[in-house]
Structure 1
């Protein structure tokens, strides 16, 4: 595990350039999906690929986007590619135009802004009237378009298990379940920093804290790499899954498939390893209403070593949990 951790840290430091903003939005989600794919039963694999082919945009967003090297490969390679593609589809929907974007893109579904307060004064001033949706389940009055990640997971799992739901809608639900399971294990998708001055409405999961030319959220999104090469992504997933300590961690994680627990785990990590004292001190020094963004030049290598180790563990937990959820649909 020690040797793996060192190699992983070097990989993180190499890949985590300021422009690296795609990871948990592309490569990271595909790594998690590839880990999950290998934990599915053969019957479930077949059923999920058949379902994805009922996706209302299968031709536009899946079939026509399959790389030539995958088209020439075996059906097994093609099926893995389709499954990994599904995990990224909710982010692909961000780029749709007009009516399709309105229909398929749901920005609030990707996160929940559970509060982390800059100090006691901020908590006392803000906690009684937070302008964010922190509900832990669906309430009768909730608008589905404004669901947070916990509500969206609950909704989409219900879609997958309801007999009256069409195969096309189940395919959409599967994509969201895959994606949101990954997002729920990224610590900064669980939390937001609130302060009286700069962030009375939260820092948007670290998006408002600048790190060089990037931001804190993007730094965490980049921890699983930003490769667009499928062979590299699959190799990375295999490496994570075969690590004995991570494999054991993933298997243990399947004992708790409560989405709220996943978010609480991420929230605790956001507190302990995301918003470190260095970051909190920088916010305190500049906490004023006119400061829309807090700016730091860089973060120390130790921050990335800790975050990289966490990312590897969360990928394993997410991959095994995702497989357990999907296997349960059969």
Structure 2
């Protein structure tokens, strides 16, 4: 049997940033780092209960068991269990690639975000705020279509389903995956916000997806801030590095005092407004607005931007991990 030596990755996130590829939604590594942090905050009985529930997932064999790497299959049950738990946090992103019938059933694109507006200027706010098309509801109202929920509505919905004794274990396993994933997404600043302007972004910049930077975009760069490794030891090591950092541990524990989903999104929105949409991006948007309205790609942002963003990402991972554990305790 093989054993894993967990490599504790120092919390110097800024040094990691320039070797990364960027993908979507706190990427594979990001969601799993958050899940691993949460896993270690659960007592053994809760860990076991959540794993038993996940094994009732309607696609457990297809998306979990058959996709488990040989190195994990040959490892200890403890490692296998953590792998399953971390896999659950990324499952809603896997649903993007399902075939037509299963994609329609399990993939919910609007659930991952809310486009709370950040207006480029007062003129844009005056014109666009009166006819905002983005779904910025903070809760579910009677008659709302679940297929059109934003992240706040989706979290509310999934928690309600998890607490409903009439809901099957198979369905609860699916909702647990979504709760794990959306808790992570709610702490990514660009899943909370969109930049709006009269000419360039009248319907928003899609959470930074329309802000081209080099070969990537602003949203994808933030999604990749926690790393891009697919290796179990790297991911768990990074999670342990965050969780054992005294300042991060204190931050995570304090975060559990605020379990209101809207508060999580408001934290992210403030970070998007104050940090993610930096002066260089806003200046490029203003130039585009004054010209033909087509955003001109930026070649790069300053190294200091990525260093600060990496620190923010690590803090949000700590807050998200501790809050996810607390949420799981409340819905089991």
1:301 is matched with which residue: 284, 293, 303? 303
**Structure 2 counterparts to residues 13-52 of structure 1, below 5 A:** 13-15=18-20, 19-22=21-24, 24-52=26-54
Q: Measure, in 2, the Cα distance between the counterparts of 1:144 and 1:39.
A: 31
* Equivalence for 1:265: 267
**Structure 2 counterparts to residues 49-128 of structure 1, below 5 A:** 49-128=51-130
Whether 1:177 aligns to 2:182 is no
Q: Measure, in 2, the Cα distance between the counterparts of 1:132 and 1:141.
A: 17
1:235 is matched with which residue: 230, 234, 237? 237
Whether 1:279 aligns to 2:259 is no
Scaled by the length of structure 1, what TM-score is found?
0.96
* Equivalence for 1:199: 201
Q: CA deviation at 1:151?
A: 0.2
* Equivalence for 1:10: 15
Scaled by the length of structure 2, what TM-score is found?
0.95
Q: CA deviation at 1:329?
A: 2.5
* Equivalence for 1:167: 169
* Equivalence for 1:327: 329
* Equivalence for 1:186: 188
Q: CA deviation at 1:13?
A: 2.6
Q: Measure, in 2, the Cα distance between the counterparts of 1:37 and 1:10.
A: 26
* Equivalence for 2:319: 317
Q: Measure, in 2, the Cα distance between the counterparts of 1:297 and 1:49.
A: 45
Q: Measure, in 2, the Cα distance between the counterparts of 1:83 and 1:272.
A: 33
* Equivalence for 2:218: 216
Q: What SS does the aligned partner of 2:183 have?
A: helix
Q: CA deviation at 1:24?
A: 1.1
Q: Measure, in 1, the Cα distance between the counterparts of 2:200 and 2:177.
A: 35
Q: Measure, in 2, the Cα distance between the counterparts of 1:293 and 1:88.
A: 31
Q: Contact 2:209–2:217 at 8 Å: present in 1 too?
A: yes
Q: CA deviation at 1:292?
A: 5.0
* Equivalence for 2:137: 135
Q: CA deviation at 1:41?
A: 1.1
Q: What SS does the aligned partner of 1:116 have?
A: strand
Q: What SS does the aligned partner of 1:193 have?
A: strand
Q: Measure, in 2, the Cα distance between the counterparts of 1:105 and 1:183.
A: 15
After superposition, the CA RMSD in angstroms is: 1.4
Q: CA deviation at 1:14?
A: 2.7
Q: CA deviation at 1:88?
A: 0.1
Q: Measure, in 2, the Cα distance between the counterparts of 1:23 and 1:192.
A: 15
Q: What SS does the aligned partner of 1:286 have?
A: helix
Q: CA deviation at 1:290?
A: 5.6
Q: Contact 2:288–2:294 at 8 Å: present in 1 too?
A: no
Q: Contact 1:208–1:292 at 8 Å: present in 2 too?
A: no
* Equivalence for 1:251: 253
Q: Measure, in 1, the Cα distance between the counterparts of 2:86 and 2:253.
A: 20
Unaligned runs of 5+ residues in structure 1 are none
Q: Contact 1:208–1:294 at 8 Å: present in 2 too?
A: no
Q: CA deviation at 1:294?
A: 3.8
What is the aligned residue count? 324
Deviations along 1:147-185, whole A, 9 cap, x unmatched? 000000000000100010000110000000000000000
